[in-house]
Amino acid sequence: MTCYLPPQDVVEDRFLLMLQDCPRPMPMAMIYAALANRFGLARHERRGAKGDPMGSRWEYLVRQARKTLLDKGWAVSPQPGLWALTDAGREEARRRENISASHAAEAHTPL
> Is 20 exposed, middle or buried (CB count within 10 Å of its CB: 0-12, 13-18, 19+)?
middle
Burial call 79-91: b when 16+ CB within 10 Å, e when fewer: eeeebbbbeebee
Q: Note the pTM of the prediction, 2 decimals.
A: 0.81
Q: Which of these, 57, 38, 37, 39, lies nearest to 47 by C-alpha position?
A: 57
Residue 104 to residue 83: CA distance in whole angstroms: 29
CATH, domain range 8-107: 1.10.10.10
pLDDT in tens, the chain (111 residues): 556 889 999 999 999 999 998 889 999 999 999 999 999 998 888 886 666 666 688 989 999 999 999 999 999 999 999 999 999 999 999 998 888 767 666 665 555
Structure confidence at residue 9 (pLDDT): 94
Note the pLDDT of residue 53: 61
Is residue 28 within 8 Å of residue 77, measured between CB atoms?
Answer: no
Are 62 and 48 contacting, i.e. CB atoms less than 8 angstroms apart?
no
